[in-house]
Every structure is written in structure tokens, then in C-alpha cells.
Structure 1
Amino acid sequence: MAMGYSKEIIEAANRAMEQRRRQSITKAEQRRRSFFSRYPRALEIERELSRTAAKAAKAVLTGSNARLELERLKESNQALQSELAALLKSAGVSEDYLEIRYACPLCKDEGYVDGKMCSCMKQLLRDEAYQRLNALSPLSLSSFDTFSLDYYGEAPLKAGGIPPKKRMEDIYRYCKNYAANFDPQLSPSLLMQGATGLGKTHLSLAIARAAIGKGFGVIYCSAPNIIGKLEKERFRSARGSADESDVYLLECDLLILDDLGTEFPTSFSSSTIYNMINSRLMASRPTIISTNLTMRELEKQYSQRLVSRIMGNHVRLEFLGSDVRQKKRLIR
């Protein structure tokens, strides 16, 4: 998979690239038809140029007086090209007006150059991933700039405790630095814990936005949604459909597993969550988990084995404060 993107994202980007190429060709054909209708001589010149190319090939193959014939054809070709350029200039259009103007001249809207992915294809993949992440997230795609610390109190929630604003300033700085230096092979997995409405999803999506901007493949999913999707795939008659989702959840550069613990608890959900988290840890691929549950509640819902894997391999960020979403609604 390119840069850890899912099959669906790659297919969507390929369709967009093909559509881009068709549009470039169609627009060129429209320009040519319009120009030739106004300047019929231009069409005659193009046909004559094609004939000189065929004559040049024939001269090389026959070998008789080839050099003289090629010189004559070259002079004729140059004269025709000069005449065509003069027609284009008189019409007030550029010299490449009759040519296909690809959105990307480097790869000619094919997405690859000499077998390597072109930068325009990488951008299409980023755009598609960005769009899908935005569509799946419960918020519009968040950024660090839109995260406000003003909603967090400066007084400790309990005697001797740290003020929520101070804690959240530290978490904000950590997440921003994490995003700036994100590396799928080096960045650690994160566990964001805290009550509802404290900004866990916002900051995880802000990290995702930065990672996508760097060209990395990011998948966002809430625990209930991904469990529901995998369960439906598992029981479909089409063999192998579940494996495909398992693969792209494992292979993406960054997986964001939101709202862990809100899915309906079953043996299937517990084993799937464990396998998802454990497989990515074994492959050294970072995962950002957000949950409203405490460690004790996680252990009760899942298992001590899962909690042990999380605790031993995730940087724990404990969010403090009161529901920011409620405060925002009250202000409005």
C-alpha cells in the first residue's frame, strides 16, 4: 500500500487521476476543434507535419540518399512549424494552445514517473484521506489552532491536585510536538484518558491532520463503528472481505481508535480490539487511543492482558477539566 493508505483511498485517488487526465484530453480536443474551424490552414499544417514524419522514417529505412532527404524534410518541417506558430500568434493564443495541457506535466496525469509515484498522486492520496477522515470524525477536522485552553479551570479539582489548565497546557504542547515530529517508525502510541468533552478527539484529529499533511496514511475510527464494520464483514458470504479491513487497519501509518469502551461488549469486540492494538504494537506502528474509562474500568471491560499491553507500550495522557462542549453551548 502506498504510504500506508487503505485500498479504498488508493482506488479513489486513481479514479480522480484518471478523471483529471480525461478532462485534460477533452479540453485539448475542444480547443483544437474550435481553432481548426477558424483556421483551417492549421489543420492542413498538422497533417503535413505528420506526413513529413512518415517520410523521414521511410527515408531512413530505404537508405537511398537518406541524408539529403532528411535535410529537405527538416527544412520543410521547420517552415511548417513556423507557419503554425505565426497562426497561433495572430489568433492571440500561446504556442502550446493545441497541445494537451496536463494538470501535472511531469507525469502527464498518470500518477507515476518511471515507476515511481509522482508528487501529484501523493497529493491526491493526502486529499482523499483528509476528506474521509473529516467525513468519519464526529467533529469537523480539528487543528491545533482551534484548540482553546480558555475553557479549562485554573483551580485544582481537588486539594493538592494540578490545575486543569496547567495539565492541558502540557498535553497540548506534547501533542503539538508529537505531530510536528511524527514518524510512523519512531513515534510512540498514545493513550488519551479523561471524561467526556475534554478535547481528546480534537487533539487526536489535530495530530491526524498534521500527519496527513506530511503524506502519511491515517485512519480514524470510533470503536463502535469499526467493530460494527468488522463484524458485518466477518459474517458476509464473500470470503476475505474482513481480512482486507484488518490489513489496512494494521498497515496505516497512524490509527486513531476513538471512544474505546463505548462499543457493545462481546467476545468478538474484546478479541478484535486486543488483536488490533497488539498487532500494531508488534509491527511498531503507532496508535492513538482515546477513552472515557479508567484503567480499572478498561480491565473490567476487556482483560488484564489488554490493559497491560496498553500501559506498557503507550504514553498516557490524562485529561482534566469539565465538559468543554457544554461550556461552549452555554456561551452560545
Structure 2
Amino acid sequence: MKYSTQVYNKAEKEMNRRRVTAQDTAQHHLDAFYAACPEAQDLRWRIASTASRAARAALRGAPAHKMIESLKEENLSLQKQFNDLLAAHNLTRADIEPQYTCKKCEDTGYIDGHMCSCYRTLLQQIAYENLNSISPLTLSSFEDFSLKYYSDVSVDGKRSDRETMRIIFDYCRHYADTFNSNSGNLFFTGATGLGKTHLSLAIAAEAIKKGFGVVYGNAITFAVALERERFAQSEDSNGDTLSLLNTCELLIMDDLGVEASSNYVTSTIYSVIDTRIITKKPTIISSNLSLQELEKRYGARLASRMVGFYDRMVFCGKDVRMQRKLNSRIDTPHS
């Protein structure tokens, strides 16, 4: 799973904070113990000395067997004396030794060169928080998506808006519940305020819970980042936006079509969509534009890709966000 440089840097800082905090806390307690009981510090030095002498003796092989056994007995005796002093001061080994958040990797993030599960969990958590912070809503869920704002009136024998949206909701719920690296692509289209972003974020939340790396953003954010990194001369620029868009396990591109148009951004967006189709990486795209309008904006090649490789869902109804605002005003008591 690949995350942005920002996510890795933030995770590394957190792992370092955990490790240093555990070590500093233990050292503080140990220093206080030595100050109250100087004898304990002398015992600690003698314990270290016997361990070192035993290690050197072991290198000599069989002739040093008796010496090693004697040093072991001496070491155990010293350890007992040290523990007795701890107990006399109402302390245990845990009080003077680092209590790492993860005992497996001791908050280094790695075990024998392999990433520890605690580090993977932290990366997912940070990605989740980042997703929440950049989204135009709080991180949405399926549970807080309401169909009551969609009309249940059927016109000319056609499905009502509510029934259409129920079908879309159920499809998205199933997509999220069964999400995996082989899941298909979704294209949400329809007017603003109908729930496209809400359901996109609900799917993202479920995918992250399953441990998948999700990149979410609106087309404007991606376009600005791509343009900036294209011309950036500074070493501070991560320059990883394009790589993330191409390689993340789930890409959610919101509001396609509202970004400022340029030949570079248009060709890059097409390239990302095409690359992810070729590599079979799931993508969710939402737009206020119809397929015909997308074709006019980006060209026939992109529209053809959307028709051939995306499940299209046409959101309908009246602006839900506006209805919620109106309802909240009505429900608010006036003084």
C-alpha cells in the first residue's frame, strides 16, 4: 500500500514521539530511583559487568563452561538484590524500563526489516484523518445518509427519485461491503447536492477500515497540485501527487469538470483514468457534468473510457444540502 510522503512523515514523527516518550519516562523514573537509592546504581553496573564477562567467556568455548555458570549465578543473585531494592521503594521493573506502545517493534515500526502491524495501522489512521480533514463534509457514513429528502412521487409511471436513490444507495453499500483490489469503477453524475460526495466518502471510510489505501480529493485540488509540482523547483516539493493518483488502492476524484482547464491537467487526468483502467485499480469519479458534457470538456477518448469501464449512476432529486439547511432553520426556535 502506498501513501503520500506527508502521511509517511507524519507517521514517522508519531513513532519517534512514542519511542522517545517511553524512553524518557523510564529514564526519569530510573534517575529518581538512583537518587533515592545509590546502591541500586552500583548493582546495575555489576549486573552489566557479569553479563559482559559471561559473553566474553562464551567465546572461548568449552574450557570456560564453569566460569560461565558461576557468572550466571552471580548475575541472578545481583538481579534479585536489585529487584528487592525496587520493591522496597514500591517500584517494579516496568517503572524503570521503557513501556512502548508496541512491544513487538518497541515503537520503531519495523521487525527484522519488515513493517510492523502497528505502523500499518498508524498509516491507515493518519490517512483516515487526512481524508476527513480535506473533505467538504465530515467523514460520511452510510448510516447518516437519508432517503427522506428525495421525492417518493412517481411521474408517468417512472421510478420516483427516492426509489432511484434507494437502488443507488444499495449498490454503493454492497460495493463498500465487498470492496477489494478487484472492485470495479463507479461514475456518479447528477446535479450538485444530491449525495455524490456523501456516498463516495462512505465507501472510502469502509475501504479504509478494511486496510486499503485511499486517496480522496476534488479535481480542483488535484489539478492545483499537479500544476504546482510540474513547475516546482524547490526540494521541499514532494512531487508525489501523480504517483499517488496512479497507484493508490482506491482513488476518489470528486467534482470532475470544475477545475480550471489546461492542456496539461486535461491530458494528465485522462492519463490517470487510463492508467488505472489498465492496472485494474478501482476508481470512483463524481461530476455535475453528463457524459456528453464530459466528452465536450475532455474529448471522446475519456468519455469512451467512462462508458466502457465505469458503472454509471445518475443521481436525481432536489438539492439535499439546501433542504437540510431549510429544515434546520424551520426547526430552530426563534426568540
Correspondence list, 1:170-185, <5 A: 170-184=167-181
Q: Tell me how large the CA RMSD over aligned residues is.
A: 2.0
Q: Tell me the residue number matched to 1:296.
A: 292
The residue type paired with residue 119 of structure 2 is M
Label 1:240 to 1:268 Cα distance change in 2 as closer, same or farther (>3 A): farther
Question: Aligned equivalents of 1:92 and 1:150: distance in 2?
Answer: 62
Counterpart of 2:54 (choices 53, 56, 61) is: 56
Report the equivalent of 2:260. 264
Q: Would the aligned equivalents of 2:5 and 2:238 in 1 still touch at CA under 8 Å? A: no
Q: TM-score, normalised by structure 2?
A: 0.92
Please give the residue correspondences for 1:37-186 in structure 2 after superposition, counting only pairs within 5 Å.
37-61=35-59, 66-156=64-154, 158-184=155-181, 186=182
How far apart are 1:219 and its partner, in Å?
Answer: 0.7
Sequence identity, in percent? 42
CA distance in 2, matches of 1:290, 1:63: 71
Superposed CA deviations along residues 260-314 of structure 1, whole A, max 9, x for unmatched, are: 1111233223212211111111111111000111111111112111111011000
| 8-17 vs 197-206, greater mean Cα deviation | 8-17
Encode CA deviations 1:149-172: one digit per residue, 9 max, x unaligned.
22111113x422211111111111
1:206 is displaced (CA, Å) by: 0.9
**Unaligned 5+ runs, structure 2:** 329-335
Contact 1:234 1:241 in 2 (8 A): no
Q: Which residue does 1:244 correspond to in 2?
A: 240
Contact 1:6 1:252 in 2 (8 A): no
Aligned residues: 328
Number of the residue aligned with 2:12: 14
Matching residue of 1:198: 194
Distance 1:51 1:160 in 2: 90
- Shift, 1:55, TM fit: 2.2
| One-letter identity of the residue aligned with 1:169 | R
SS of 2:94's partner is coil
Query: 32-41 or 133-142, which moves further after superposition?
Result: 32-41
Q: 2:231 maps to which residue?
A: 235
1:253 corresponds in structure 2 to 249
Contact 2:222 2:241 in 1 (8 A): no
Checking the alignment, whether the CA contact within 8 Å between 1:28 and 1:98 is kept in structure 2 is yes
- Quote how far apart the aligned CAs of 1:238 are: 5.2
Higher mean alpha-carbon deviation, 279-288 vs 35-44, is at 35-44
